[in-house]
């Protein structure tokens, strides 16, 4: 689900470039988009009832300086 939101907010071209670049530079587990997804999984596990995936992705992308649509 997180990658779907990332794709929608970043757009196809930027998502693919960012995902591939993250894999190349950091490896799978530490690539920024994967790290975001793993962090979201931890947040979801700890959350009571409400989990806003889109808000979480938008905030993390903004903190990374990544453009969103």
CA distance 69 to 56: 15
Q: Which two tokens stand for residue 37?
A: 């997804």
Q: pTM for this structure?
A: 0.72
What's the pLDDT score for residue 52?
83
Q: Which two tokens stand for residue 42?
A: 């931890």
Contacts of 66 (CB under 8 A, 6+ apart): 10, 14, 18
Calculate ∠ Cα 50-36-48, nearest 5°: 20
In this structure, is the dihedral angle defined by the CA atoms of residues 62, 51, 2 and 33, taken in order, positive or negative?
A: positive
CA distance 60 to 65: 9
- Low-confidence stretches of the chain (pLDDT beneath 50): none
What's the pLDDT score for residue 9?
92
């Amino acid at each position: 689900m997180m990658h779907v939101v990332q794709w929608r907010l970043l757009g196809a071209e930027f998502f693919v470039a960012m995902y591939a670049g993250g894999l190349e530079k950091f490896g799978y587990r530490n690539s920024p988009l994967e790290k975001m997804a793993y962090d979201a999984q931890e947040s979801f596990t700890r959350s009571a009832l409400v989990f806003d995936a889109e808000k979480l992705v938008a905030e993390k992308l903004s903190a990374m300086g990544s453009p969103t649509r």
